[in-house]
Amino acid sequence: MTELSCIHAFERDLSPASALATALGVPVRTVALHRFPDGESLVRSTTEDARPVLYCRLDHPNERLIEALLAADALGGKPVLVAPYLPYMRQDIAFHPGEAVSQRVVSRLLGGAVSALVTVAPHLHRTATLDPLIAPARAIVIPAADVLAPLLRDEAADRPVLVGPDGESAPALLRLVELTGFEALHLTKTRSGDREVAATLPPGTALEGRRAVLIDDICSTGTTLTEAARLLYAAGAGSVEAIVIHPLFDAAAASRLRAAGIRRIRATDSVAHDAGRIPLAPFLAAALRECLP
């Protein structure tokens, strides 16, 4: 690997950035951030670095995307950006006349500012890969299955049924089946609004007291997982849990998930969240080694 001197991060991201730096055997350096009274941000690098790597969590994206772009400029040399959660990826077409295609806009901004992007399970729909979107930058994507398979294999005693919330989850589920040998199924989902979801299980689904583990890349309102839990219990599940890659839900949504009978909710530390206890540092470190051969 090209010699890496440190990981750069804003103060708000020092905990996960430090875990990544430890995995790579390098220090972490703070990127200075000042906010003016009018809301603008001033970003300053305190360390010169020939091959900078910037760690930045991009939840609350309207603010943090701008600060990431400013940090990339402050560090110079088009840094490698480690952004475990990549926002604005779901809007990949204009569904109505006059809509901005946010996936294209945000990808173009990042592709011009960094040399490579390391991210985890971006929320893509009709887009097969990030590479053409962020060119000339390089995209290194860590699949959800690679993160979750070791965790699930450690809990294999009762061989849970893995459940995806919709058809788009099928590829990740198939990969998890390959890696764990567990059974899997996915719901068919119809969304009529941000908080209105209708879903169905495959005909004849009978779970007969089994443990069901919902697997989702993003949970924001919790509506999909709540409806999925209702269907799984109706099909006879003995218990329902959820594992989420990017936990964007708030306390009210967490209460709704628990009220729906989801007994345990786990997530990665891609964003700062009470549920985010699955560390991504080992996977991000491996991806960085690939980025910096």
Q: Which residues are catalytic?
A: 189
* CA-based R_g, the chain, Å: 20
**What is the phi/psi pair of residue 86, to 5°?**
-110, 110
In whole angstroms, give the CA distance from residue 264 to residue 282. 24
In whole angstroms, give the CA distance from residue 116 to residue 208. 47
- Could you give the count of Cα atoms lying within 13 Å of 224 in the half-sphere of its Cβ? 25
In whole angstroms, give the CA distance from residue 220 to residue 10. 24
**Sequential DSSP letters for 133-158:** HHTTSEEEEE-HHHHHHHHHHTTGGG
Q: Is 187 helix (H, G, I), strand (E, B) or coil?
A: coil
In whole angstroms, give the CA distance from residue 170 to residue 163. 9
Q: Which residues contact 122 (CB under 8 A, 6 or more apart)?
A: 86, 89, 130, 141
Question: Which pair of tokens denotes residue 213?
Answer: 């583990």
> Is 247:47 a contact under the CB 8 Å cutoff?
no
Pairing of strands 41-44, 28-35: antiparallel
In whole angstroms, give the CA distance from residue 32 to residue 12. 11
Q: Is 281 helix (H, G, I), strand (E, B) or coil?
A: helix
Pairing of strands 28-35, 138-142: unpaired
